[in-house]
Chains A and B, each alone.
Chain A
């Protein structure tokens, strides 16, 4: 089983739609969670951290479910500019150092 699993998509949604992505992780000791956005042939950019109580940033909402070991990203009122790949990142400790693991990414295409 992969350490971090994501549905690669693509998710094709119309403008204005609400879309949600999930990401599951295998290590129950995982401590920090992030969502990154990556545009085609560009570097990943931090979208938002994911906190235990859930957090919101404008149209974006992130949730963490430790019991089921998954995090989610909800995008409301999708814009054309939201088209990108969304990478799930999970951190956990091993041998005294944090290990950062990326999912494969979920591709979102917002259609006019």
Chain B
């Protein structure tokens, strides 16, 4: 049973460039969330995809965009990279949108992509 997989593991980019990160959710999961974790901070929510649509978004600029494919995998795109975008980018999957009032399943994380912007 494959867990959440992310690629690449590490990436070095220059200011102003664009980057695409990829994620395949755990088998049986159809909801993918992306998080940014700066050094010494907790993960910050970027956005969540379900049924190929962005369902929720955190406080991140439009430079951050994403996509979900029919096989539930997802991409995170960041344009016009800034030095402050350097962080660990985490993808997390969960088994579908729970109904309000029901127990929420925990997130399962991939190994992350460490992005360094120089």
Contacts of B48 in A (CB 8 A): 97
Closest chain-B Cβ to A79's Cβ sits at a distance in Å of: 23
Closest chain-A Cβ to B6's Cβ sits at a distance in Å of: 9
Closest chain-B Cβ to A48's Cβ sits at a distance in Å of: 9
Is A101 in contact with chain B by the CB < 8 A criterion? yes
CB-CB contacts of B23-54 with A at 8 A, as 1s and 0s? 00000000001010000111111001000000
Closest chain-A Cβ to B68's Cβ sits at a distance in Å of: 15
Chain B binder among A14-22, A36-44, A58-66, A70-78 = A36-44
**Closest B residue by C-beta to A93:** B100
Contacts of A101 in B (CB 8 A): 45
Known contacts A42-B111, A97-B55; is A31 also within 8 Å of B104 by CB? Answer: yes
Is B56 touching A97 in the complex (CB atoms < 8 A)?
yes
Contact of B106 among A34, A42, A93 (CB under 8 A): A34
Which B57-108 residues have a C-beta within 8 angstroms of A? 88, 90, 97-98, 100-101, 103-104, 106-108
Closest chain-B Cβ to A94's Cβ sits at a distance in Å of: 8
Known contacts A34-B106, A96-B100, A100-B107; is A44 also within 8 Å of B43 by CB? Answer: yes
Which A1-32 residues have a C-beta within 8 angstroms of B? 4, 6, 8, 31-32
Closest chain-A Cβ to B79's Cβ sits at a distance in Å of: 25
Known contacts A87-B42, A98-B98, A102-B42; is A46 also within 8 Å of B56 by CB? Answer: no
Question: In the docked arrangement, what's the CA distance between A104 and B98, Å?
Answer: 25
Q: Which A residues form the contact surface with B (CB < 8 A)?
A: 4, 6, 8, 31-32, 34, 41-46, 49, 87, 89, 91, 93, 95-105
